Amino acid sequence: MTVPSLVVITPMRRRHLRAVLRIETRSQPRGWSLGLFLGELARPEGRSYLVAKVAGQVVGFAGMLFIGDEGHLATISVDPDWRGNGVAARLTAVLCRKAIEGGATALTLEVRAGNTAAQALYRRFGFAPAGVRRAYYKDSGEDALVMWAYDVDGPDYAARLRAIEAPLAASTELDGLTVAGCELDHGAASGIGGRP
């Protein structure tokens, strides 16, 4: 695996689910089922599901639910062969921007207590531990750390997102997405990305 020259972020579609399930199976002992993904895609209101592609291959995905003025990062996963290349950061940045665009003032998520790499990513995005859900993951009985980011609609959080997005912008294209304030669209500068 090489460092990707271009990562394309696009809305998740049914045609992506075979690749999404392959990544889910490689990443989680008991991940989401095809039926769960189909159910989520069938109800687009109040949710956003994205895939990240490199050279046409799905290498990661993420989804967020929007409830009132909160966004809940419900799922995120990157193919193990593509981890460490900013794929998760790109997906998280776009979902955070979409949540803010939709009126969110706070974001939340659950993460495995032992997944320190994911926790470090979320801390970059301003998430802080707020509690523990005991034995949340049924496959292993592992606890979930509940994390929250507050005041995401303010100028400090906007600056945080810009700082995260800046080094990734030249190698990222948004396809089929329009996201206010997002600086992750190399394609928009060239006239090829950010298509609605």
Residue 1 has what pLDDT?
A: 56
110 is catalytic: yes
Residue 137 has what pLDDT?
A: 87
pLDDT values of the chain reduced to their tens digit, one per residue, 196 residues: 566 789 999 999 999 999 999 999 998 878 899 999 999 999 989 999 999 999 999 999 999 999 999 999 999 999 999 999 999 999 999 999 999 999 999 999 999 999 999 999 999 999 999 999 999 988 888 999 999 999 999 999 999 999 999 999 999 999 999 888 888 876 554 433 443 3
- Decide if 79 is inside a domain: yes
- Decide if 13 is inside a domain: yes
> CATH number of the domain that 11 lies in?
3.40.630.30
- Decide if 16 is inside a domain: yes
- Decide if 107 is inside a domain: yes
Catalytic residue among 24, 40, 49, 110: 110
- Decide if 2 is inside a domain: no
Number of domains in the chain: 1
DSSP string, the chain: ----S-EEEEE--GGGHHHHHHHHHHH-TT---HHHHHHHHH--TTEEEEEEEETTEEEEEEEEEEETTEEEEEEEEE-GGGTTSSHHHHHHHHHHHHHHHTT-SEEEEEEETT-HHHHHHHHHTT-EEEEEEEEEETTTTEEEEEEEEE-TTSHHHHHHHHHHHGGGGGGEEEBS---TT----HHHHHTSS-B-
Full residue range of the structural domain in which residue 163 is found: 7-190
Residue 190 has what pLDDT?
A: 41
- Decide if 195 is inside a domain: no
- Decide if 88 is inside a domain: yes
Catalytic residue among 40, 122, 165, 173: 122
- Decide if 1 is inside a domain: no
137 is catalytic: no
